Amino acid sequence: MKRKFSALISALLCLILISSTSVNAATKAGAKCTKVGITTVVGNKTFTCIKLGKKRIWNNGVENKNSSEEIIAKALPPTSFDNLFERRNAIPYTAWKSTAESIKNGSSTIKNFSVFLGPKSTAPKYKTPKIAYGLVSQAFYKYKTPENIVVIQYSKADISWAENKVKEFVTESEYNELNRNENGKLISSNCQENDCYGAKQVSVRGKNGTAFVLQGVAYQSNNDPLAVARWELGQLDAHEFFHALQRTNIEEIQINEWPTSWINEGGASLAQNLVMSHESYSEYMKWRKLDSRDLYGRNTTITTKFMESFLDLKNNKDYWRSVDNYYAYNLGSRIMEIFVALKGPGVLLDIHKETALNGFDAAFESIFGLPWSKASLIVTSTIVESFQTGE
């Protein structure tokens, strides 16, 4: 009896497997199906049986999204600091989505754009910076854009050439002021002893809206894990042009307080990834995670005590200077990501301008409706938890 029962079970299993295989093999758009409404997954598509006239056929199928991304996309977005911690897993997606929508709805307002490459320099792999600049302009299309953009790219061998090129656009006194602001190293500070990896954006106040981007061009890789994103995918171009927007939108106001470094650099670092990854959330998350790769885990350096000091702008206005200056970039971008998730990408420029005009505390409360002293506690717990759990 046991043998007959086992044989029966085996036969049934075999029949099911054969049936399942034949159904999947036959499932394709337009093929016959048996019952309207049933679905089947083949490859990365879900097909549904529909009625077309008198026939029952499989539809064209719907491509299945990555399951984790689909879950995040359906998660409730944070709407205020009251539910920020509870809905923290949706912060990056909400910030990314709002930026992608802004780019979709906007258009570039760039007018005059020039790129100059040193005679002894090789163009970076990302040879069309205007694309990156244009996407940044689209994302922030409601804000003022510099009238003239001058990009000067140079290797170690072209430092003197780059200095002379800048002088073609400014007076001697204006050049001296720019050079003085950079401690006498306007051009050379983008280079180290043997190579150039840095870039900076500078502007002359009142100079008809001209923004300069001075970009060192490397001979070889410096093993930066984000080198592909920065040098080959246009993130460096987007970063520097965002600085131009920051400066342009405060050009005509009396500066009351210079925005802290994590607003300046954190905003630009976040914008470069949000904008250049606007077509792919997974791409955004890939670079986001790589940028903070050393900060994750239960033993993260980003503790409650650290964050409280980092965010205390009264007693530690530039706390990052006493630790690792890169915290202004990667940790700063996480703080600014929270702001964007709550208010959209425009808040990156709003908080920068309002801080310059009225000071950070007044700026923050006018935008978010509560004091920074209260909000910073929620920001601290949210960020510490995200790094401890690897989010």
Are residues 261 and 387 part of one domain? yes
Give me the domain span that covers residue 41. 25-64
Query: What are the CB-based long-range contacts (under 8 Å, 24+) for 224-228?
Result: 224/197, 225/290, 225/293, 226/287, 226/290, 226/291
In this structure, is residue 18 part of a structural domain?
Answer: no
Query: Could you tell me what percent of the chain has a pLDDT over 70?
Result: 87
Are residues 390 and 278 part of one domain? yes
In this structure, is residue 15 part of a structural domain?
Answer: no
Are residues 267 and 199 part of one domain? no
Are residues 101 and 111 part of one domain? no
Alpha carbon 64 to its chain's center: 25
CA 283, 287, 288, 294 torsion-angle sign: positive
Please state the rounded mean pLDDT for residues 190-203: 92
For the cut 90, the answer to whether the pLDDT of residue 121 exceeds it is yes
The two structure tokens encoding residue 222: 């410096």
Look at residues 206, 221, 252 and tell me which one is the last residue of a structural domain: 252
Q: Other C-beta atoms within 10 Å of 233: how many?
A: 21
Query: Which pLDDT score is estimated for 10?
Result: 46
Look at residues 218, 252, 286 and tell me which one is the last residue of a structural domain: 252
Are residues 347 and 301 part of one domain? yes
Looking at residue 214, the DSSP 8-state letter turns out to be: E
In this structure, is residue 59 part of a structural domain?
Answer: yes
Number of domains observed in the structure of the chain: 3
Are residues 233 and 196 part of one domain? yes
SS3 18: helix
Angstrom CA distances, 197 to 153, 164, 189, 225, 327, stand at: 11, 20, 10, 13, 19
In the beta sheet, which residues pair with residue 356? none
Alpha carbon 204 to its chain's center: 27
Say which residue the tokens 């939108």 belong to. Answer: 249
Query: Which pLDDT score is estimated for 11?
Result: 44
Are residues 248 and 115 part of one domain? yes
Bridging pattern class, strands 62-63 and 45-52:
antiparallel
In this structure, is residue 207 part of a structural domain?
Answer: yes
The strands making up 199-203's β-sheet, listed across from edge to edge, are 112-117, 148-154, 210-216, 199-203
In this structure, is residue 46 part of a structural domain?
Answer: yes
pLDDT 10s digits, 147-156: 889 999 999 9
Q: Range with the lowest mean pLDDT among 129-133, 195-199, 288-292, 296-300? A: 296-300
pLDDT 10s digits, 153-192: 999 999 999 999 999 999 999 999 999 989 999 999 999 9
In this structure, is residue 117 part of a structural domain?
Answer: yes
Please return the burial class of 72, using the count of CB atoms within 10 Å of its CB with bins 0-12, 13-18 and 19+.
Answer: buried
Query: Which pLDDT score is estimated for 317?
Result: 60
In this structure, is residue 20 part of a structural domain?
Answer: no
What is the average pLDDT value for the chain, to the nearest integer?
87
pLDDT 10s digits, 217-271: 999 888 888 889 999 999 999 999 999 999 999 988 889 999 998 999 999 999 9
Are residues 215 and 293 part of one domain? no
Q: Other C-beta atoms within 10 Å of 282: how many?
A: 11
In this structure, is residue 331 part of a structural domain?
Answer: yes
Are residues 267 and 161 part of one domain? no
Q: Do residues 310 and 331 make contact, with C-beta atoms less than 8 angstroms apart?
A: yes
Q: Do residues 26 and 42 make contact, with C-beta atoms less than 8 angstroms apart?
A: no
For the cut 80, the answer to whether the pLDDT of residue 19 exceeds it is no
Query: Which pLDDT score is estimated for 147?
Result: 84
With left for phi above 0 and alpha for psi between -120 and 50, is residue 208 left, alpha or beta?
left
Are residues 149 and 161 part of one domain? yes
Helix (H) or strand (E) holding 49: strand 45-52
Are residues 352 and 287 part of one domain? yes
Are residues 91 and 59 part of one domain? no
Q: What is the pTM of this model?
A: 0.81
For the cut 80, the answer to whether the pLDDT of residue 26 exceeds it is no
Query: Which pLDDT score is estimated for 166?
Result: 95
Helix ranges restricted to H, the chain: 2-26, 67-74, 91-105, 129-139, 159-167, 172-181, 227, 235-248, 261-276, 281-291, 304-310, 327-343, 347-358, 360-368, 372-389
Look at residues 198, 233, 252 and tell me which one is the last residue of a structural domain: 252
Angstrom CA distances, 313 to 144, 149, 200, 302, 374, stand at: 28, 33, 25, 17, 13
